[in-house]
Chain A
């Protein structure tokens, strides 16, 4: 069942999302592109496509299913689908309750997703379920920090941030491990807040 509170929040954000994230997307483009270049020829799930800002960074001719909880975001994303050279199918879905069979995908990609999932470990458990054993989880995420004073600042601003958008103090790395994934590599992009996480389903 879809989490309606989260869906409504991101529906409201859909119109301004691209505008607000414009500069960040430009700065993060090389790192995101490098991560998405790891998309193989197998079946790929992309979680939380948003308004489709990442589509232009996908390598050509891949077979990708993109999901998002927000129908408004998907409306915007759908307009960008014809510009992608591969197979890109979009579906409205909550990552905490994926409507896919077990072991359906070779790879799962996320982009600024687990800052917004109300129960991140539940969502990550779902990703592990739909991934084939040995399948890749590649994430581009922002998380909390382990360093002073950033950790305290993010904790301070989290109640307000959460009300209008994502959480800013999640320990996504620990959540990935708690969901049973084996972490391969972690790369800091901005401080230790924006990072890429590469993990594998056992």
Chain B
């Protein structure tokens, strides 16, 4: 949620309608990944390396890319952009958790 929200906030703050869409997507993705990098150091000692790194990086990339693209097309209020980002974070964290359950156990 934090990463998604932060990605939404940064993309809404830095991008505006009229910006080039592909640049917005790439910038959003980079901003999302940078948000992930900062929070990574804070949360890892509490929740574990991969358990944090995988969902937060995925959230940062996807929410940053989608909201980066969206914010070049329409002007989203910062709070709406953050809320969408946070929702993407929740959905992706749930998906990674589900994927983890599916892959558990002996495979060979």
Contacts and interface: CB of A to CB of B under 8 A. Distances in A.
- A and B found bound together: yes
Interface of A: 19-24, 26-28, 142, 147, 149-150, 153, 157, 183, 185-194
Is the interface on chain B under 10, 10 to 19, 20 to 34, or 35 or more residues?
20 to 34
Given A28-B48, A157-B57, A188-B107, 14 more contacts: A21-B49, A23-B45, A24-B48, A153-B58, A153-B61, A183-B108, A187-B105, A187-B106, A188-B105, A190-B50, A190-B51, A192-B103, A192-B107, A194-B50
Nearest to A24: B48
A128 B51 CA distance: 32
A23 B104 contact: no
Contacts of A24: 48-51
A149 B107 CA distance: 20
A193 B107 contact: no
Q: Is the interface of B mostly helix, strand, loop or mixed?
A: helix
A198 B77 CA distance: 54
Contact of A142 (B45, B46, B50): B50
28 contacts: A20-B44, A21-B49, A23-B44, A23-B45, A24-B48, A24-B51, A27-B51, A142-B49, A147-B99, A147-B103, A150-B54, A153-B54, A183-B108, A185-B106, A185-B108, A186-B106, A186-B107, A187-B106, A188-B103, A188-B104, A188-B105, A188-B107, A190-B50, A191-B50, A191-B99, A191-B100, A192-B107, A193-B54
Nearest to B37: A160
Nearest to A186: B108
B94 interface: no
Q: Interface of chain A, helix or strand or loop or mixed?
A: mixed
Give the one of B96, B104, B106, B108 with max A CB within 10 A. Answer: B108
